[in-house]
Amino acid sequence: MSQTAPSFATLNEAVRRIAQEVAAKHADDVDARARFPHEVVAALREARAFSALVPKDLGGSGLTMRELGTLVSTLAQVCGSSAMVLAMHYNQLGCIARHHGGSPFFLQFMRDLVERQWLIASITSEVGTFGDTRSSICAVQREGDRFTLVKEATTGSYCADADVIVVTARRDAQAGASDQVLVLLQEGDYTLEQTTTWDTMGMRGTVSPGFKLTSGAPIEQIMPVSFGDIAAQSMVPYSHILWSSLWWGIAAGAHGKAATYVRSVARKNPGTTPPTAVALAELSVELQTMRHHWQGLADEFDAIAAAGTGAEELPKIGWALKMNSLKTACSDAAPRIVHGALQIVGILGYKNDSPFAMGRAYRDALSASLMISNERIAAKSAAMLLVFKDE
């Protein structure tokens, strides 16, 4: 039975409650056992958070990038892995919502997602492409009105617990490595054979081992727009902005603990300012810079989307450089801020069983520069800067 989609205010309040009451309770266990955050995902599903960005005319909440980033960052302050699951889901759904091209299959898929609150995972990585999402080895094989696809993924977050997986592949066996399409696979369309483990430093709750995916589905499940366009206009903006909001959330969580600590020291010595308060003030500058960076670009994306000029504006070099700079700046800043917060709190932040523990946030934040390597991104920016003239 259809229900009214929750507003941003309702979802924001729900995610805040889920962070404080559900994620806070289970995050350490999720991390310790490198297990999927079932409890948080169930609560998000219950709150109808998975259809937050589906357009209102299809029954969703139609949230903006800025609003989605707010939800993701709220959760990240408590559990980076749960927030990453939510951010990755929004990233894939954003691609579908913006590039369905009027396809009856994809329109109905979004209506069904609103009802069922499906969780979407993605497989863009592949054994042999070395972290370059814009090239594929595997190819879609078309036979009549169906296709088959086999892919060896290096990393597939929460694929075993998702309802839907979105996969990149070459358009066909003759296509070049970067002539890619995006394919949507639903339960029953695919099997997964786990090929590697996921015993990592951080982001352990994303449960992202390697998989061999074997699939077959109707042709209509291939997105009607080339992946090159989807990547430039949606996948890069959604991933870089929402990941940056997430990394800001992790940093804000650590900064918040440091602030609580400094205030507790100050209360014990009325009339004096603890020396760590200066370090906290300095750290606040970095946190604020980071927040305005992701929020500014989220607002810019929302303005472009509202004006309907995404197809012209988002593929431009100037926008691509902004996205690259956001990703590298925020992924570098997050572990630096957590490190600064740890220096302020000292041994209580180093201890895993203290309320000021920084270990999980620190380890989670270290994944940021690897999730699409900053070096790889810098190399792409360097090439673009050779031909780009800022107005």
Name which of 117 and 124 has its Cβ closer to ligand FAD: 124
Residue 207 CB, shortest distance to ligand FAD, in Å, is: 9
Q: State which residue, 223 or 345, has the beta carbon closest to ligand FAD.
A: 223
Instruction: State which residue, 351 or 376, has the beta carbon closest to ligand FAD.
Output: 376
Taking the least distance from each CB to ligand FAD, the nearer of 59 and 210 is 210
- Name the phi and psi angles at 183, rounded to 5: -120, 135
Separation of alpha carbons 167 and 223, rounded Å: 10
Least distance to ligand FAD from the beta carbon of 282, Å?
29
- Residue 167 CB, nearest approach to ligand FAD (Å): 9
Minimum CB distance to ligand FAD, residue 129 (Å): 8
Pick between residue 39 and residue 152 the one whose CB is nearest to ligand FAD. 152
Q: Please provide the DSSP assignment of 195-228 as one string.
A: -S----SS-GGG----EEEEEEEEGGGB-SS-HH
Looking at beta carbons only, is 44 or 121 nearer to ligand FAD? Answer: 121
Least CB distance from residue 130 to ligand FAD, whole Å? 4
Cβ of residue 222: shortest distance to ligand FAD, in angstroms?
18
Give the three-class secondary structure for 315: coil
Q: How far is the CB of 202 from ligand FAD (least distance, A)?
A: 8
Nearest Cα residue to 158 out of 196, 117, 207, 119? 207
Taking the complex as a whole, how short is the minimal distance between the CB of residue 81 and ligand FAD, in angstroms?
A: 8
What is the C-alpha separation between 339 and 342, in angstroms, rounded? 5
Which chain residues interact with ligand FAD by CB under 6 A?
A: 88, 121-125, 130-131, 153, 155-157, 203, 206, 208, 367, 370-373, 375-376, 379
Residue with CB nearest ligand FAD? 131
Buried-exposed string 164-197: b where 16+ CB fall within 10 A, e elsewhere:
bbbbbbbbeeeeeeebbbbbbbbeebbebeeeee
C-alpha triplet 143, 149, 155: angle, nearest 5° = 170
Indicate the SS3 state at residue 360: helix
Question: Which residue's CB is nearer to ligand FAD, number 130 or number 388?
Answer: 130
Rounded Cα distance between 311 and 117, Å, is 29
- Least Å from the CB of residue 72 to ligand FAD: 14
Residue type, 327: K
Q: Which is nearer to ligand FAD, 82 or 155 (CB)?
A: 155
Q: 215 - beta bridge partners?
A: 149, 190
CA dihedral 258, 259, 260, 264 (to 10 degrees): 100
Residue closer to ligand FAD by CB (options 279, 370) is: 370
DSSP assigned state of 56: G
Half-sphere exposure of 83 (CA within 13 A, CB side): 33
Phi, psi angle pair for 50, to nearest 5°: -75, -15
Measured in whole angstroms, the distance separating CA 190 from the mean position of its chain's CA atoms is: 23
